[in-house]
Amino acid sequence: MNEKLKDYIERYRPILDDLSEIIIILDERGFIVFWNKAGLRNFNWAEDTQPVVHYTEIVSEDYIDSVKKAFQDRISGKDVGKYRIGAKSFDGKIKIYEITGNPIIFDGKPVGEMALAKDVTSEDEARKNLEESEETFRSLAEESPNMIFINSGGRIVFVNRKCVEVMGYSYGEFLSEGFDFKNLIAEKDLPVTEEAFGKHMRGLDVKPYEYSLVTKSGHYINSLITTKLVSYYGEKAILGIVTDISYQKEIENILRQQKRQYQMTIDSLHDILHVVGKDLSIVLFNKPCKDTAVSLGVTEDLIGKNPLTIFPFLPKKVHKEYKEVFRTGKELLTEEVTQVGGKEFVTETTKLPVIEDGVVTQVITIVRDVTAKSRAEKALVDNERFLTDIFTSIQDGISIIDKKLNIIRVNKAMERWYSHNLPLIGKKCYEAYHCRGRPCKICPSATTLKTGKASVEIVPKTGAGGKVEGQIQLYTYPLVDSRTGKMEGVIEYVKDVTDQWKTAEALKESETKFRNLFENSNDAVFIGDGRDGIIKDCNMAASRLLGLPKKRIIGSKYSDIHPPEVRDEQVRLFKKLNKKNEPFVGDTLLLHKSGRRIPVNLSANFMSFGNRKIVQAVFRDITERKKTMDDLNQLNAFLSDILRNAPIGILTTDAKGNITSINTAIKTIIGSQSTEKTLSLNVLKLAPMKKFGIDKTFRKALNEGVESDVERFHYKSTWGKESITDTKIVPLFDVDGSVRGSIAIAADVTLQAQLETEVTDIKEHLETVINGIEEAIVVIDPKYNIVSHNKSFLTSLRTRRKDLQGAKCYEVIHGYKKPCRNCVVREMFKTGKPVGDTHYHLDGGKKVYHEVKAYPLKDSEGKLHQSVYVFRDVTERELLYEKILQAKEAAESLAKMKTDFASLASHEIKTPLAIIKAYAQLMSDGTLGPLNTGQTGKLKNMICNVDRLSDLVDKLLDISKLESGEVRLKRVKVPLKAIIDSVLSDLGHAFRDKTLDVKVEYGSRNTAIHADKTLIRQVIYNVLDNAYKFTEKGGNIRITVERHGKNLLVSISDTGVGIQKSKLDKIGQRFYQADSSISRKYKGAGLGIAICKRILVLHGGSLDIQSKYLKGTKVTISLPTRK
């Protein structure tokens, strides 16, 4: 490398590295010997390296020849303008750069080249995309089935192949000078076309319109044109898309002809026909329909009329029928009887749906006069009914059987006996009546069919499963056709003789049952002679009770089975019963063979059989009963004690209402102090009982034997005690069924009633509150049934309370037939947690938003059993939110445009500044020739101003990046002391020039922070530079660093000019200066503090300024020590 070139690079390296533009220096052989930092970053080289490569190694093959020529021309001293190259970075990616090169000359000889490279990859890609888009449009337009043209500047500048094929002109003719699209328009349509083109040029939209095109051969084409204003190579142009609608016009003519033919067809019908639309008005009718209307006095046009206002014979429910057909899409046939002009008419109406794309759009109604047909059918039905009534009214069973033994008709009696809830008609007689799979060998009906003779016999009556249920007397008669004399079947006449059969069977069964009961009875039964009392028979229980075998008992006297002390009494009783022939029931004693007396209950009865009398004596051992009675007496005493002390009041009366017993609780309820006084009262006569209606309930129990429901009474007793009771009064019956008294059970619910009243008041209060809430609230069960709701729910849905009974929520709220796909209620029942959502629907073409929420409702056991569904109209909020989003997007777009402009402008300014400074430096150093003293001074001022302007551009770039959010912090752990020392080192010579006294105090040894080292250094530098700038010679600057909680505070105080109080709040705004006059003493753009504040905000810190005018300023920087 040339030594002078090497010195040149070392001298200007700091300046070139500070530039944001890509700077590279090549020697005279084409080797790149220097990259500034921007170039290393852009080509992905490490910033601490200086790779030496030949330019041919990085230039892509497509550009290599042009680059070689440009390099040779510049080295040879020729002027070469800007040109573009494709170059490869370290990672192999190819980018497009715009190169501005200048030779480096020493001693009149070029030793190398300085090249300024600008990355224009994105611009190049945009240009290529534009070219591709234009090519894509041309390809699509050429393949389009429609004619496409572009008209600009009064002539056609583009047409597709379809235009050439249809119109007959060549491409050259279309694109020739002065060939306007209007030349193709029929003369009658020119005004419309010119008006449309004029609107486009004024920026107005034009709807598609119809017109006629004239081909080169003079043929007219019906067309539909869609036009749009576009930009064509920077000029306003009209893009037109033309559709040939000649075929569509032919179809419309055909449809009109078919409609006329259809009208003639329906006019030829005898029935009334009309078609109604969804608004239930007539859209089409035939001639009979019009004639009928005229005969009814309707002379105006029927189109748009409601059928009910024209035809009085249509029922009023026809509207509902029309709506049903529109809803279901099914045909509906109805028959109605109406009165018109005093005459009765029967009409048959058919409603047929007209379905288009799965939706019912119209209903065709055909009305026929079926009066004559209806009267004939009615006469036939009446005759048939008369014969059927006779047939079915016969009490015996009748069935008619055909020659194949199929049952073809039965009467009700036959159905009642044999149907078993299954139909008989169509079955085989042997299947239905005998549960057989084939005819019997001696089937009466089959025999009659074979012989042609009537028969009669008794056969078993079978039921389900072939079970015999009785007997029937079966008559079979041949069924002969009176016209042909041929036998067509058999009439079976069935008479049920089951009752006689059952009576005989019952006698047998009774005898068997009596013997079984007699032998198996648990009671001892003796059968004796009614004259002498000799025992004729006894059962095993009698043998067991006396301890004797039956053979020893039979033949003995009735009195012998009793012990001596009751024998005489039993003999007298026997004679008395024998004489009066009356039954007897009472207690007595029997004698066991061991001599033990057995207490028994005797039931004796005398029965006569002809001239003979027998006595039946039944003895029941009541030994256990005696013992049980004793136990019951004890239990009764125990229960009486319990009832007396029970917490529920109990009162009993006799049949006349006199109080017979009370317990302690009833005394407390009525406030009685004396049981004796209470027992002397009658519930039917007590004044409090009558006042509160309790006596009526007692009368029902005592007089009618009616048990009352639990009734609530507000009772105030004779003694002044007030109470509320839930009372039930039950009648007490004697053994003969008569009422012997009553028992009243009363629970004191005074406290409970008070609580219920309070609960009712609370419930009514809550209902009032809920009904006053604007949000619609509805309670829904797991099956989506509506349980309850507030008034806002009815109002929001415009419905009535009765319409919600048994309704599903998705039917009422959304009009769906099944639950919504994204239903919050379903999600809530699934998760058991509250669920919310916001959705919208279109109402009259406008968006209506609702915020919906579903909350779980649990029962007393904590189980989820219902949902509270709340929704409210949030349309205004959501529409406002959409406007905010749109405004935000517009603001962000505007901010990005501003930032891009600032960035672009800064780059465009800095590039020439770098070149100006470089050349000024070369001139100042004498590299380009000797200078006098005045020129040197001017150049130094130029370099100083370039540095100031470059600093302003850098600050503009910084503020632009900070505001656009492009800055990404590179946080590292760094001691703040090192940053402050570095800045003081850079500004040391400046402080010394103004003889400023600068002191630093560290209140803590640990000054480490987690921050972006470069950005924090920029903040410290800017603040100290301001302190230097605004402090006069000999002034003081103090820097203190101390910890405050989790933050590190840096305070920089000076004795400068300070800031006026009225201007202090504005410090930190972009471009704001305390002294903004043209002749201000202190130079600057007013961006330094604004940049500092934004950097500190990114770090989570802050900047505070305190100042006194003409006395000094204190700037406090707060930085967090941790991330």
The pLDDT tens digits for 462-511 are: 666 667 777 888 888 888 877 788 888 988 888 877 777 777 677 677 66
**Three-state DSSP class for 350?**
strand
- pLDDT tens digits along 632-673: 778 777 767 776 777 788 888 998 889 888 887 877 777 776
What would the mean pLDDT of 688-714 be, rounded to a whole number? 83
The reported pLDDT for the residue numbered 1037 is 95
> What gap in Å lies between CA 813 and CA 613, rounded to an integer?
87
Radius of gyration of the chain (CA): 60
- What are the φ and ψ backbone dihedral angles of 385, each rounded to 5 degrees? -65, -40
The reported pLDDT for the residue numbered 1078 is 37
CB 228 within 8 A of CB 204: no
Is pLDDT larger for residue 923 or for residue 742?
742
Output the average pLDDT for the chain: 82
The reported pLDDT for the residue numbered 1084 is 54
- Joined together, the tokens standing for residue 836 give 């919310």
The reported pLDDT for the residue numbered 1077 is 42
User: Class assignment of domain 270-375?
Assistant: alpha beta
The reported pLDDT for the residue numbered 1027 is 92
Work out the number of other CB atoms within 10 angstroms of the CB of residue 1018. Answer: 20
Q: In 3D, which of 649, 641, 643 has the Cα closest to residue 665?
A: 649
CB 1053 within 8 A of CB 1037: yes
CB 58 within 8 A of CB 91: no
> What gap in Å lies between CA 809 and CA 815, rounded to an integer?
9
Is pLDDT larger for residue 608 or for residue 1095?
1095
- Joined together, the tokens standing for residue 500 give 């006689």
CB 136 within 8 A of CB 118: no
pLDDT band (50, 70, 90) for residue 124: low
- pLDDT tens digits along 551-576: 899 999 888 899 999 888 888 888 88
Amino acid sitting at position 1040: T
- pLDDT tens digits along 396-433: 788 888 888 888 888 877 777 675 666 788 888 877 77
- pLDDT tens digits along 573-630: 888 877 777 788 888 999 999 999 999 998 888 877 656 778 888 998 888 888 877 7
> What gap in Å lies between CA 296 and CA 290, rounded to an integer?
10
Q: Where are the domains of the chain?
A: 3-119, 135-244, 270-375, 394-503, 521-621, 632-754, 773-873, 967-1120
In sequence order, which residues have a C-beta less than 8 Å from that of residue 541 and are 6 or more positions away?
A: 521, 522, 523, 524, 525
- pLDDT tens digits along 1054-1077: 999 888 877 777 676 665 555 544
- Joined together, the tokens standing for residue 319 give 């509207």
pLDDT band (50, 70, 90) for residue 176: confident
The reported pLDDT for the residue numbered 510 is 67
> What gap in Å lies between CA 1052 and CA 637, rounded to an integer?
105
CATH architecture for segment(s) 394-503: 2-Layer Sandwich (3.30)
The reported pLDDT for the residue numbered 387 is 57
> What gap in Å lies between CA 791 and CA 770, rounded to an integer?
8
425-449 in b/e form (b: 16+ CB < 10 A) is eeebbbbbbbeeeeeeeebbbbbbb
- What are the φ and ψ backbone dihedral angles of 90, each rounded to 5 degrees? -60, -35
- pLDDT tens digits along 932-969: 877 888 887 787 777 767 777 777 677 777 776 777 88
Helix, strand, coil shares of the chain as percentages rounded to 5?
40, 30, 25
- CA dihedral angle for residue 317, residue 318, residue 319, residue 322, rounded to 10 degrees: 130
How far from 114 is each of 56, 102, 354, 607, CA to CA, in Å? 16, 5, 85, 152
CB 844 within 8 A of CB 862: no
How far from 128 is each of 124, 125, 485, CA to CA, in Å? 6, 5, 107
Is pLDDT larger for residue 403 or for residue 1118?
1118
> What gap in Å lies between CA 365 and CA 359, rounded to an integer?
18
Is domain 632-754 in CATH 3.30.450.20, yes or no? yes
* 372: pLDDT strictly greater than 80: no
The reported pLDDT for the residue numbered 718 is 60
> What gap in Å lies between CA 852 and CA 835, rounded to an integer?
8
- Joined together, the tokens standing for residue 804 give 């919600």
Q: Helix (H) and strand (E) counts for the chain?
A: 34, 43
Is domain 967-1120 in CATH 3.30.565.10, yes or no? yes
β-strands 584-591, 597-609 pairing: antiparallel
> What gap in Å lies between CA 162 and CA 149, rounded to an integer?
10
In 144-279, which residue ranges form alpha helices assigned H by DSSP?
Answer: 161-167, 171-174, 190-201, 246-267
pLDDT band (50, 70, 90) for residue 996: very high
pLDDT band (50, 70, 90) for residue 741: very high
- pLDDT tens digits along 213-242: 889 888 888 888 888 888 777 788 888 888
Q: Among all chains, which residue has been given the structure tokens 């010119």?
A: 194
The reported pLDDT for the residue numbered 1076 is 45
What would the mean pLDDT of 243-247 be, rounded to a whole number? 79
**Three-state DSSP class for 167?**
helix
Domains 3-119 and 135-244 in one fold: yes
* 854: pLDDT strictly greater than 60: yes
User: Class assignment of domain 135-244?
Assistant: alpha beta
Query: Over pLDDT 70: what percentage of the chain?
Result: 90
Is domain 773-873 in CATH 3.30.450.20, yes or no? yes
* 1082: pLDDT strictly greater than 70: no
How many residues in the chain?
A: 1123
Q: In 3D, which of 877, 871, 821 has the Cα closest to residue 850?
A: 871
- What are the φ and ψ backbone dihedral angles of 862, each rounded to 5 degrees? 85, 10
> What gap in Å lies between CA 1029 and CA 1031, rounded to an integer?
6
Q: Among all chains, which residue has been given the structure tokens 């234009």?
A: 134
What would the mean pLDDT of 714-724 be, rounded to a whole number? 70
CATH architecture for segment(s) 521-621: 2-Layer Sandwich (3.30)
Tell me which CATH code domain 3-119 carries.
3.30.450.20
* 154: DSSP letter: T
